[in-house]
Each structure stands twice: as C-alpha cells, then as structure tokens.
Structure 1
Amino acid sequence: MAAGSGGMDWAALMRAGLRGLGLRPEEFWRLTPAELLLMLGSDERTAPLNRDRLEALSQLYPDKTD
C-alpha cells in the first residue's frame, strides 16, 4: 500500500488497521509495516510459498555448482 509519492499510504493503513482490524491506536503504532500488511493479508511477499512460486524463484536464483 503505497502513496502516490512512493511512500506508505498511512491514512489507508490506519483505516485498515483501526477500522478493519479493530486495533487500538497503541496496538497499531507498535506494529511494523510488515506485520500490519501480514495481518491485512495484502502483501505478496508474505503469501504462502507454493510450488509455482518456488519454481519461479529457482529459475531466478539457481543454485551455483562451482
């Protein structure tokens, strides 16, 4: 969730955390952005690693045999 300037869209994250997840403000501000995105289920980096994604990563980063 990035703002148009490339930064975090804090207003949207606060709405999602406070309204959507029902967090109290002190709970919200104790979270890291990664933790919040994980709770929201909106960060592709935190998605479960499935076979297709593992294969794609293996192609991008093959094991070196040197």
Structure 2
Amino acid sequence: MKSERDAFPWAAMMAVGFGRLRLSSQAFWAMTPRELAAAVEGAFGVADAPPDRAMLERLMGRYPDRAPP
C-alpha cells in the first residue's frame, strides 16, 4: 500500500526543482504542485500534463545532481 508521501514523486520533483530549475528552497516549497508543473513545462516543453515518473527519471539521468563516479 502506498503512503500519502508516495502519492506525489517529491524526491524526483525536488531533484528537478533544485537541480535543473535552480529554485531556492524557499521558492520550491512555496509553490503548489500545479505551479511546479508549469515551471517544468516552461523549462522542458512538457505539454498538457505534469511530468510523470518516467519523464522525471529520464531528466534525472540526463541532468544528475552529481557527476557519475
């Protein structure tokens, strides 16, 4: 059973928000999920829906927070 915490991919969105969009912690946590989705859409050209888990994983692979070992 998924918990409420698992209902939204927070870890992936934090990786995109902080790592790729370069949002401050204050700006990130002040955003609603819809605002965050709009920011991701503006940055990556995603249309019609917030990024799904597969897209976030592709983005995280393409733009990792750390260089691979």
Q: Which runs of 5+ in 1 are unaligned?
A: 47-66
Whether 1:8 aligns to 2:12 is: no
Structure with the largest fraction of helix: 2
Question: Partner residue of 2:33?
Answer: 33
Q: Which runs of 5+ in 2 are unaligned?
A: 51-69
Q: Which structure's CA Rg is the greater one?
A: 1
TM-score (norm 1): 0.55
* Deviation readout 1:10-55 (Å, 9 max, x if unpaired): 0000000001100011110000000000000146248xxxxxxxxx
TM-score (norm 2): 0.53
Q: Larger relative CO (CA 8 A, sep 6+): 1 or 2?
A: 2
Equivalent residue pairs, number: 42
* Structure 1: 4+ residue segments shifted above 3 A: none
- Cα root mean square deviation, aligned: 2.1
